[in-house]
Chain A
Amino acid sequence: MNEGSDKATIVVFSGELDRALAAFNIATTAASMGMEVTMFFTFWGLNVITKERVEAGEKNALQKMMGLMNRGGARRLKLSRLNMLGGGKAAMKMLMREYRMPSLEEMIPMAKELGVRFLACTTSMALMGLGESDFISEVDDFVGAATYVEKAAGSKINLFI
């Protein structure tokens, strides 16, 4: 009942494909059930909503090194288990296609279309040397933890993935 008045918040801390899929599955479902959904991406979760980084930007040496080893972009995420240097991920993607399950790259615009809000954590961004231009256009805002806490305090569902 009360379509539109219920809120759900999801913290996406993890940067693995399977965990991101679970987060987007719940987000799109909750949005389809009339809930106002906010996803707060922090730490490794930022990789889900970054472009596949090309430029080094204003990074220091450590951040540049981390950027090389921790390249962003939904397409690049690995599985948390059975990744097997990408072989397991390829098999999983093949199975998902066979069963007509949406890929993460399809889930992101779908969530957006359903009105899910994407927030990126500015502290994690600073730590990893990421600027606003490193993110996909679907990101709504760049905020701190207080914005998330305020949203979560008024939410009936609050997940940390």
Chain B
Amino acid sequence: MKADRILDCVGLYCPMPIVKTSKEIKELADGEILEVIADDKGIKSDMPAWCSKTGHECLGIEEEDGEFHVFVKKKG
């Protein structure tokens, strides 16, 4: 999947990936895609939960070498 912006959260644990995502998403234009890369597996549940609460769209999660690539489409 092609992202407009990438946020590297490898090595970070809760709540940092979510806190950083909430800040980073503000830098995107509506409809753009943010790719969050994290290696804490909590992200698999947390990012869809964050999306469901904030209204942004979780397009999917790809797992690769123990890293999770989460694609979030900014609402609007």
Interface residues of A (CB under 8 A from B): 1, 3, 25, 28-29, 31-35, 99-102, 110, 114
A-B contact pairs, 8 of them (CB 8 A): A3-B54, A25-B14, A25-B15, A32-B15, A33-B50, A100-B11, A101-B13, A102-B16
Chain B's interface: helix, strand, loop or mixed, by majority?
A: helix
CB-CB nearest in chain B for A114: B19
The smallest C-beta distance from A32 to any residue of chain B, in angstroms, reads 4
Q: Are A32 and B18 in contact (CB under 8 A)?
A: yes
Residues of chain A within 8 A (CB-CB) of B13 are 99-101
B57 → chain A closest CB, angstroms: 12
| Chain A binding surface SS class | loop
Which residues 20-76 of B sit at the A interface, judged by CB distance below 8 A?
A: 21-22, 49-50, 53-55
- List the A residue with the shortest CB-CB distance to B50: A33
Give chain A nearest CB distance to B42 CB in angstroms: 11
Contact partner of B19 (CB less than 8 A), chosen from A99, A100, A110, is: A110
Q: Do B22 and A32 touch (CB < 8 A)?
A: yes
Least CB separation from B11: chain A residue = A100
Known contacts A29-B14, A32-B21; can you find 17 more A-B pairs with CB under 8 A? A1-B53, A1-B54, A1-B55, A3-B55, A25-B14, A28-B15, A29-B15, A29-B19, A32-B15, A32-B50, A33-B50, A33-B54, A34-B22, A34-B54, A100-B11, A101-B13, A101-B16
A101 to B11, CA, bound (A): 9
Q: Enumerate chain B residues within 8 angstroms of A32, measured Cβ to Cβ.
A: 15, 18-19, 21-22, 50
The answer to whether B11 touches A33 (Cβ under 8 A) is no
Give the residue name and chain of the A residue nearest to B17 (CB). A32
Q: B53's closest neighbor in chain A, by CB?
A: A33
Greatest chain A CB density within 10 A among B12, B19, B21, B22 is at B19
B residues near A3, Cβ cutoff 8 Å: 54-55
A25 partner residues in chain B, CB cutoff 8 A: 14-15
Docked complex Cα distance between A101 and B53 (Å): 24
Complex Cα gap A114–B15 (Å): 12
